[in-house]
Structure 1
Amino acid sequence: MNKPQPLSQRYDPRQLTDEELVERAHDELFHVTRAYEELMRRYQRTLFNVCARYLGNDRDADDVCQEVMLKVLYGLKNFEGKSKFKTWLYSITYNECITQYRKERRKRRLLDALSLDPIEEASEEKAPKVEEKGGLDRWLVHVNPIDREILVLRFVAELEFQEIADIMHMGLSATKMRYKRALDRLREKFSGVSET
């Protein structure tokens, strides 16, 4: 006869809240990954969209997503729940995007210094993607990286202003002000363009 599974392993991860899954992951990792896998399944698409919009291409976004998922896997045991899981996840994502962005910027500077044409190398991934996607992407290329991240976290990740402020280590009023100014600048820039 089959031995009954322990109660701790008898659950449907899809029925649990993020907080319950985090609690399960604390107990289960690294032997059982069901709770972790469900958390990643819930946020995978939005996580990729946040990275792609911030970094401007799918290849870098995919690399950053993989790095974020590894950091979450190894960090869940130490996650104390002082913030929501979603906020913690996007904080990791934001930091990884910044790291990748800086890496790409250094690479472009090196290519410039070597007199290679970085635009030609990057155009394969960057130029068509922005044009094809339209919508939010065509607006995001016109704002600086910090404002872009605020807009992405607000519109793509659908985070509250306080969560965005926590992730970006900014005050709540500064976050709201940057958000409003970025939107005002975009409205001014595209006042003649009809919204899609």
Structure 2
Amino acid sequence: MNKAQPLPTRYDPRELTDEELVARAHDELFHITRAYEELMRRYQRTLFNVCARYLGNERDADDVCQEVMLKVLYGLKNFEGKSKFKTWLYSITYNECITQYRKERRKRRLIDALSLDPLEEASDEKTPKVEERGGLDRWLVHVNPIDREILVLRFVAELEFQEIADIMHMGLSATKMRYKRALDRLRDKFSDTSET
């Protein structure tokens, strides 16, 4: 029976794969955070972009990113590697985005219900509308939340369909079908507006 070789203590985390960093984190956390920090550094920008596009504003995206990074920090010790680290990370991100989205929706309903002047409340928005930013964001406001998440995971996180299906707890064919239908709807919508 082969015994696992002890990992050398000195290493450059930038030269290691995600899997090697996860193995390091298993051994080092919580005393040493070098491997964890490198994993977060690698995915930080894409993680933020996924959250911002899904939630529609940077403030909520930043909050969700912080929550995701904490969940990864405390969850890495138990991560068994049944999926890629990247898939596991975006699964956590997806769940946190859903939670935040629901919280914001409940908060908006409460504000609307308590507001004496709903028009004044609606015009008091400080954050820019997603449509004003252009690019992919301009498209994403025209799809429902599940289709939006599929498109974000595909285009921003650059995940394979099987990884997206695993994260969203959907079948592979259902994921591909929703992806295709969302793209078809967007093509129809934007071809209609370009013709007028």
TM-score, normalising length: structure 2: 0.90
Conserved 8 A contact 1:161-1:176: yes
- Distance in 2 between residues matched to 1:53 and 1:149, nearest whole Å: 9
Identity of aligned residues (%): 92
TM-score, normalising length: structure 1: 0.90
- Distance in 2 between residues matched to 1:10 and 1:32, nearest whole Å: 12
Q: Alpha-carbon deviation of 1:28?
A: 0.1
Q: Which residue of 1 aligns with 2:163?
A: 163
Stretches of structure 2 that go unaligned for 5 or more consecutive residues are none
Please give the secondary structure, in 1, of the residue aligned with 2:192: coil
Mean CA deviation greater in 109-118 or 76-85: 109-118
- Distance in 2 between residues matched to 1:35 and 1:119, nearest whole Å: 50
- Distance in 2 between residues matched to 1:119 and 1:12, nearest whole Å: 56
Stretches of structure 1 that go unaligned for 5 or more consecutive residues are none
Q: Alpha-carbon deviation of 1:175?
A: 0.1
Conserved 8 A contact 2:55-2:101: yes
Conserved 8 A contact 2:48-2:65: yes
Q: Deviations over 1:27-75 (max 9, x none)?
A: 0000000000000000000000000000000000000000000000000
List structure 1 segments (4+ residues) > 3 angstroms apart after TM superposition: 1-8, 116-127, 192-196
Conserved 8 A contact 1:140-1:148: yes
CA-atom RMSD in angstroms: 5.0
Q: Alpha-carbon deviation of 1:7?
A: 6.3
- Distance in 1 between residues matched to 2:79 and 2:18, nearest whole Å: 12
Mean CA deviation greater in 16-25 or 107-116: 107-116
Q: Alpha-carbon deviation of 1:120?
A: 5.8
- The aligned length equals 196
Q: Deviations over 1:164-192 (max 9, x none)?
A: 00000000000000000000000000014
The change in CA–CA distance for 1:122 and 1:95 in structure 2 (over 3 A counts) is farther
Please give the secondary structure, in 2, of the residue aligned with 1:127: coil
- Distance in 2 between residues matched to 1:193 and 1:121, nearest whole Å: 30
